[in-house]
């Protein structure tokens, strides 16, 4: 029975059957022969559905990951891609990273549910240790969501796709709150901990479904290879969720006709109000400042941020933020207050706004300062962020130092 003779449901049943037989130890050569007999081609979507069906059969995430490597070799010549789609299935491509992480998340959710059910009734300490390990893995969904918010959504907005990112970011924040409630219930060993987890499970799985069946197909139609490359470059700084790509995805590109910064012939120093600097000197100085700088222009568009001197960033920023409306760089629940602040700075009602808070061992000080020219015309806002903990510590624990050593 070939492609044309089988219905979509029959195709899925046959794929699942072959993979289950492979899982049970049947020889790859036999499975390959039968696969070739029944299938002229398979689509990436069919493979994705097959993997989901295997999990529903009770196959563990780790085993599915092992089977993935085997079925990739079995089906490699038969996978049928739409135009421009092959890269999606390559190791390290942003879509493949998202899909593999989703598979890993499903596995962690499944293991936590089974362990939690057993622990609630037994209070076994070994089960508790396993639960803590698995919950630690599930915590990493935050990396997955941050990457979407700060590396994927900006590109979507640049394509005119503005509503879906805003809605999805709002749902992210709801999930974060639900997960926080579950973690609190787990820590306090409350009676409703299982109920709290089932809410988390439902919301996380629903988000996975939206990503794979709505978000990815949507951006596949709108994104160019350069967009995926941009996202791939931004991806590592947000970390990964449970699994790390085994290889870096690279694009084969024709030589660019655009001059690089190194190729641009400098005509001289940039004149400043108190001297002059070359472009290279200015860039180096801004990156050496012991604070994170961002500049937003009078139209609320992000124009610049400094890259820092290699120290850990307090607020992660990517090049995808350049050219983005600053309001959309914040969670939807913060849009109203951020809009209000920028209007106050624009109008002169405020010249600056400060806030300070603790984050782990850091003492974070943030300032938003209106920028105006000599005529008082509003030019935009400079944000500067600094961890002041080391300075406070020095003042509190060290004798005053008035001379260079």
d(CA 141, CA 240): 8
Better-scored residue on pLDDT, 52 or 297: 297
Six-digit token string for 75: 């089906």
pLDDT, tens digit (0-9, with 9 covering 90-100), for 133-183: 999 999 999 999 999 999 999 999 888 888 788 889 999 999 999 999 999
Instruction: Report the pLDDT averaged over residues 174-200.
Output: 95
Strand partners, 270: 277
Instruction: Kindly report whether the global pTM for this prediction surpasses the value 0.85.
Output: no
Q: Kindly report the CATH number that applies to the domain delimited by 270-396.
A: 3.30.450.20
pLDDT of residue 343: 93
pLDDT of 81 above 80: no
d(CA 15, CA 47): 8
pLDDT of 89 above 70: yes
- The two beta strands, 292-297 and 302-305, are antiparallel
pLDDT, tens digit (0-9, with 9 covering 90-100), for 306-358: 887 667 778 877 777 888 888 888 888 888 899 999 999 999 999 999 988 88
Number of residues that this document lists for the chain: 405
pLDDT, tens digit (0-9, with 9 covering 90-100), for 244-283: 998 888 876 655 444 444 444 445 678 888 888 888 888 8
Q: Rounded mean pLDDT of the chain?
A: 84
> What is the signed CA dihedral for 42, 44, 49, 54, rounded to 10 degrees?
80
Q: Give domain limits for the chain.
A: 3-238, 270-396
Q: Kindly report the CATH number that applies to the domain delimited by 3-238.
A: 1.20.120.520
């Amino acid at each position: 029975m070939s492609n044309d003779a089988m219905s979509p449901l029959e195709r899925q049943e046959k794929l699942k059957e072959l993979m289950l037989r492979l899982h049970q130890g049947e020889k790859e050569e036999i499975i390959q022969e039968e696969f070739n007999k029944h299938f002229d081609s398979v689509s990436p979507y069919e493979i994705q559905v097959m993997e989901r069906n295997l999990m529903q059969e009770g196959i563990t995430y780790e085993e599915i990951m092992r089977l993935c490597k085997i079925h990739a070799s079995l089906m490699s010549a038969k996978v049928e891609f739409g135009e421009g789609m092959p890269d999606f299935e390559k190791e390290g491509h942003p879509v493949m990273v998202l899909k593999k992480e989703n598979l890993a998340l499903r596995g962690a959710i499944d293991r936590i549910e089974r362990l939690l059910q057993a622990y609630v009734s037994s209070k076994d300490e070994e089960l508790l240790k396993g639960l803590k390990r698995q919950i630690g893995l599930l915590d990493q969904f935050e990396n997955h969501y941050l990457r979407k918010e700060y590396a994927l959504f900006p590109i979507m907005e640049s394509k005119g796709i503005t509503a879906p990112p805003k809605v999805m970011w709002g749902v992210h924040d709801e999930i974060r709150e639900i997960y926080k409630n579950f973690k609190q219930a787990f820590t306090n060993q409350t009676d409703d901990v299982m109920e709290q987890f089932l809410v988390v499970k439902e919301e996380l799985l629903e988000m996975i479904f939206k990503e794979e069946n709505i978000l990815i197909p949507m951006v596949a139609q709108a994104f160019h290879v350069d967009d995926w490359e941009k996202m791939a470059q931004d991806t590592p700084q947000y970390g990964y969720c449970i699994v790390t790509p085994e290889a870096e995805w690279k694009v084969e590109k024709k030589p660019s006709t655009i001059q690089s910064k190194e190729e641009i012939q400098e005509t001289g120093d940039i004149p400043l109000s108190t001297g002059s600097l070359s472009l290279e000197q200015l860039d180096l100085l801004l990156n050496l400042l012991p604070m994170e700088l961002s500049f937003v222009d009078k139209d609320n568009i992000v124009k610049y941020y400094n890259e820092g001197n290699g120290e850990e960033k307090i607020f992660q920023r990517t090049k995808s933020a350049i050219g983005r409306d600053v309001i959309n760089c914040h969670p939807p629940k913060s849009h109203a207050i951020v809009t209000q602040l920028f209007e106050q700075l624009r109008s002169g009602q405020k010249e600056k706004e400060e806030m300070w808070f603790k984050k782990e061992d850091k003492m974070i000080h943030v300032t938003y300062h209106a920028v105006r020219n000599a005529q008082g015309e509003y030019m935009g806002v400079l944000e500067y962020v600094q961890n002041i903990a080391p300075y406070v510590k020095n003042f509190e624990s060290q004798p005053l130092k008035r001379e260079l050593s």
